């Protein structure tokens, strides 16, 4: 068992001081928005061992720590993005990264799938909305596409999306997306989601691509599973994100970072339907001190386990975790016992 501290990421979409309670007073003085706290061995942000400061990836490998756990805090929408499957990740890292056009596009040769567990109310774009609704919104915007983009058209989702990737529209048209969402008779959640997009990213062509995505709202304790190939963009909130140990992100818009539309189009599954969180190969459970199991919980061996202290103090095998620290227990290590005075998350995987 290793007790670790997370690696802080300051991205523009993060919440100012949004991770203070998990990173301590010394780091909280940083002025940049706090976006993610990483717990794992990925080389882009390996955690450090609490008592020595040694990077975790110098002690354990990806075979020992097959997932990456993050606390994520979003103040504004993340990029419209998709994660590659295993075949594309391997081709991208081993071959495409060596080309001028796609140099550095792939962080590693691994598929990325992820689960987002909401700690606060959380909104996101996740998966495809019905293509008929897309056509209704485009009718209201007066956008022409391949053939005729209307509610009577037979243009497929893929054809329409590819067209929008390759054809820019005027900034004033993008600014009218929320009113077009309203004209299509969609919900207030939908209207407010796109109001945030056009306000935070004025003139960004990714706003038009976001029209293809379905806004969802998670209450604390609810989760969403995002397999590779499924387009998404987190909008706002704080949660625990669990994924395969990969940092492969192919972006299409709503970001100052590089976008790779050709690669993203290869990665997208245009027929994907919404996946259930129970389909994920990993799970998240948050335990509070007032729960029946808080005084003594046993976690069996045979699974990789992360115990993440969210509040108060948590004891794992008699070792105390302070708020924001995690215990990493490999699958071959024995069963562990846990207790808490606050709350903690248990992350488990069969990977």
Structure confidence at residue 27 (pLDDT):
56
Region 142-168: what's the mean pLDDT? 77
| Cα separation, 78 vs 51, whole angstroms | 34
Query: How is residue 51 written in tokens?
Result: 């008592």
- The reported pTM is 0.94
Tell me which of 196, 211, 226 is where a domain ends. Answer: 211
Region 193-213: what's the mean pLDDT? 97
Tell whether 243 is covered by a domain. no
Domains in the chain, number: 2
Tell whether 332 is covered by a domain. yes
Tell me which of 151, 178, 211 is where a domain ends. Answer: 211
Inter-residue contact 212 to 146 (CB < 8 Å):
no
Tell whether 187 is covered by a domain. yes
Tell whether 115 is covered by a domain. no
Tell whether 181 is covered by a domain. yes
Tell whether 138 is covered by a domain. yes
Tell me which of 156, 190, 211 is where a domain ends. Answer: 211
Average pLDDT of the residues of the chain: 93
Structure confidence at residue 19 (pLDDT):
96
Mind spelling out the 3-state secondary structure of 48-105? EECCCCCEHHHCCCCCCCCEEEEEEEECCCCCEEECCCHHHHHHHHHCHHHCCCCCCC
Judged by average pLDDT, the poorest of 99-103, 292-296, 317-321 is 292-296
Structure confidence at residue 153 (pLDDT):
58
Inter-residue contact 265 to 309 (CB < 8 Å):
no
pLDDT band at 350 (very low <50, low <70, confident <90, very high): confident
Tell whether 319 is covered by a domain. yes
Tell whether 30 is covered by a domain. no
* Per-residue CA distances from 231 to 95, 266, 342 (Å): 24, 12, 36
Residue-range definition of the domain harbouring residue 145: 130-211
| Cα separation, 318 vs 257, whole angstroms | 44
- Residue appearing with tokens 């620290």: 325
CATH number of residue 341's parent domain: 2.60.120.10
């Amino acid at each position: 068992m290793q007790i670790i501290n997370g690696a802080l990421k300051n991205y523009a979409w993060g919440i100012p001081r949004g991770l203070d309670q998990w990173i301590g007073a010394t780091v909280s003085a940083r002025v940049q928005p706090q976006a993610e706290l990483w717990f794992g061995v990925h080389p882009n942000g390996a955690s450090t061992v609490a008592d020595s400061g040694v990077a975790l990836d110098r002690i354990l490998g990806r075979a020992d720590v097959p997932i990456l756990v993050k606390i994520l805090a979003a103040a504004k929408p993340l990029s419209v993005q998709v994660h590659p499957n295993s075949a594309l990740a391997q081709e991208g890292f081993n071959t495409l990264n060596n080309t001028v056009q796609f140099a550095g596009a792939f962080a590693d040769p691994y598929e990325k799938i992820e689960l987002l567990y909401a700690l606060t109310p959380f909104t996101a774009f996740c998966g495809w909305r019905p293509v008929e609704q897309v056509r209704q919104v485009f009718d209201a915007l007066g956008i022409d596409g391949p053939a005729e983009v209307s509610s009577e058209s037979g243009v497929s989702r893929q054809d329409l999306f590819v067209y929008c990737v390759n054809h820019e529209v005027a900034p004033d048209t993008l600014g009218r997306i929320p009113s077009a969402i309203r004209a299509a008779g969609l919900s207030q959640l939908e209207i407010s989601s796109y109001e945030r997009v056009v306000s935070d990213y004025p003139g960004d062509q990714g706003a038009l691509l976001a029209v293809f995505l379905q806004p969802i709202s998670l209450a604390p304790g609810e989760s969403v599973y995002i397999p590779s190939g499924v387009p998404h963009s987190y909008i706002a909130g704080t949660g625990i994100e669990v994924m395969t140990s990969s940092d492969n992100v192919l972006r299409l818009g709503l970001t100052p970072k590089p976008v790779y539309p050709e690669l993203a189009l290869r990665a997208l599954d245009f027929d994907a339907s919404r996946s259930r969180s129970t389909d994920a190969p990993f799970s998240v459970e948050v335990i509070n001190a007032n729960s029946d199991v808080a005084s003594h919980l046993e976690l069996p061996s045979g699974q990789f386990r992360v115990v993440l202290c969210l509040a108060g103090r948590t004891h794992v095998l008699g070792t105390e975790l302070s708020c924001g620290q995690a215990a990493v227990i490999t699958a071959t290590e024995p069963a562990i016992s846990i207790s808490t005075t606050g709350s903690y998350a248990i992350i488990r995987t069969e990977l």
